[in-house]
Amino acid sequence: MSDELQAPPVANTEAPNDRQAENNQRGVNATTEVRNAEANRQHKEASLLHNHAEKRAPRIGSQFQANLPAPQRPS
């Protein structure tokens, strides 16, 4: 054995678990982005259908107003 002092081995500052955690987080972020994009698409589609239905169907109150006689001017 040598009497010289040896420097401790240089440790890898990025542990394999840190890399795995980062990769997992990337996967979670990508999955979340896909879910958000799908939710946004569904919301937009539902909103368009709702707006279209409102334009096509009269309001509940308007059906009663249409049956009223026109206002008469006093003579």
Domain, as residue range, for 33 = 18-48
- Domain membership of residue 7 (yes or no) is no
- Domain membership of residue 10 (yes or no) is no
- Domain membership of residue 42 (yes or no) is yes
Which pLDDT score, from 0 to 100, does residue 61 have? 56
**How far apart are alpha carbons 47 and 70 in whole angstroms?**
36
28-68 pLDDT, tens digit per residue, is 888 889 999 999 999 999 998 888 776 766 666 555 555 66
Residue 70 binned pLDDT confidence (cut-offs 50, 70, 90): confident
17-26 long-range contacts, CB within 8 A, separation 24+: none
Which pLDDT score, from 0 to 100, does residue 41 have? 94
The number of domains in the chain is 1
Residue 19 binned pLDDT confidence (cut-offs 50, 70, 90): confident
pTM as predicted: 0.43
